[in-house]
């Protein structure tokens, strides 16, 4: 039997912001993927130029399947771009590619928040898997009975999301700086690049807000258990 506790509404802000963030990213990306970059470079070429000029010629830029699946893998020391951004010659494609290259620059410089996030990946992966079991058991047994464990699990996830924010914002800052410095985008195009990267960053803000509200939800339940 499904049991809903009195603090279920704590999930609402995260859900609303998450939906808004995804819609904002989709609409902004779809708008600027139609706007060609004046330099004519593709996302892959822009990322390659940034990496090479930064002494990271050994870091490969590879194509990966999916939509907006772009990422930098610090374990493989490789940059992966979705097909649209790998081949695309739009403001959006170049901006996203430069952002991922920004993560490679962070890795090279041993950027502290990135190092901390990398260190937390194993335990956060375990916590993410555990969260699925918490929801399943919670709906079956009642969330109050597993609130203590849930506080630990969602506390780990919330910390990871908080650390992710400066990593992502700094990567975007580096991206815009490199694109302008290398002449890959013009000053008048930097506004469009910023809009695309800010929309992408909003998804990380939404994830952080959602994780904090879930943590607060279980903290309230745990406190209620202590009073009983």
pLDDT tens figures, 3-56: 456 667 777 888 899 999 999 999 999 999 999 999 999 999 999 999 999 999
Phi first, then psi, for residue 124 (nearest 5°) are -70, -35
**pTM score over 0.85:** yes
pLDDT at 199 over 90: yes
Q: Annotated catalytic residue: which of 38, 45, 100, 109? A: 100
155 part of a folded domain: yes
Q: Total domain count for the chain? A: 1
List the domain range (segments joined by +) for residue 31: 8-227
Model pLDDT, residue 132: 84
3 part of a folded domain: no
Q: Is 100 in the active site? A: yes
Mean pLDDT across the chain, nearest whole number? 91
The percent of residues above 90 in pLDDT, for the chain, comes to 75
2 part of a folded domain: no
131 part of a folded domain: yes
Distance CA 81, CA 69 (A): 7
1 part of a folded domain: no
Question: Between β-strands 71-73 and 78-82, what pairing exists: parallel, antiparallel or unpaired?
Answer: antiparallel
* 53-88 confidence digits (pLDDT tens): 999 999 999 999 999 999 999 999 999 999 999 999
**Packing angle between helix 112-141 and helix 147-181, nearest 10 degrees?**
140
pLDDT at 105 over 80: yes
Model pLDDT, residue 100: 97
187 part of a folded domain: yes
Virtual torsion, Cα 133, 137, 142, 146, nearest 10 deg: -50
């Amino acid at each position: 039997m499904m049991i809903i506790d009195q603090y279920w509404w704590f999930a609402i802000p995260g859900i609303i912001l998450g939906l808004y963030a995804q819609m904002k990213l989709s609409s902004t990306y779809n708008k600027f993927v139609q706007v060609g970059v004046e330099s004519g470079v593709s996302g892959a070429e822009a990322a390659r130029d940034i990496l090479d000029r930064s002494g990271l010629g050994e870091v490969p830029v590879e194509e990966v399947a999916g939509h907006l699946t772009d990422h930098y893998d610090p374990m493989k020391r490789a940059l992966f771009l979705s097909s649209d951004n790998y081949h695309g010659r739009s403001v959006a494609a170049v901006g996203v590619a430069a952002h991922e290259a920004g993560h490679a620059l962070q890795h090279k410089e041993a950027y502290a928040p990135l190092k901390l996030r990398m260190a937390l990946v194993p335990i956060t992966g375990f916590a993410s898997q555990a969260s699925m079991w918490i929801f399943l058991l919670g709906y079956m047994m009642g969330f109050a009975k597993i609130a203590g464990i849930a506080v630990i699990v969602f506390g780990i996830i919330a910390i990871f999301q908080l650390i992710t924010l400066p990593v992502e914002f700094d990567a975007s800052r580096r991206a815009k700086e490199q694109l302008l410095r290398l002449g890959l985008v013009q000053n008048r195009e930097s506004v469009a690049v910023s809009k695309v990267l800010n929309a992408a960053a909003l998804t990380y803000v939404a994830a952080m807000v959602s994780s904090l509200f879930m943590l607060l939800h279980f903290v309230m339940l745990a406190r209620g258990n202590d009073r009983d």
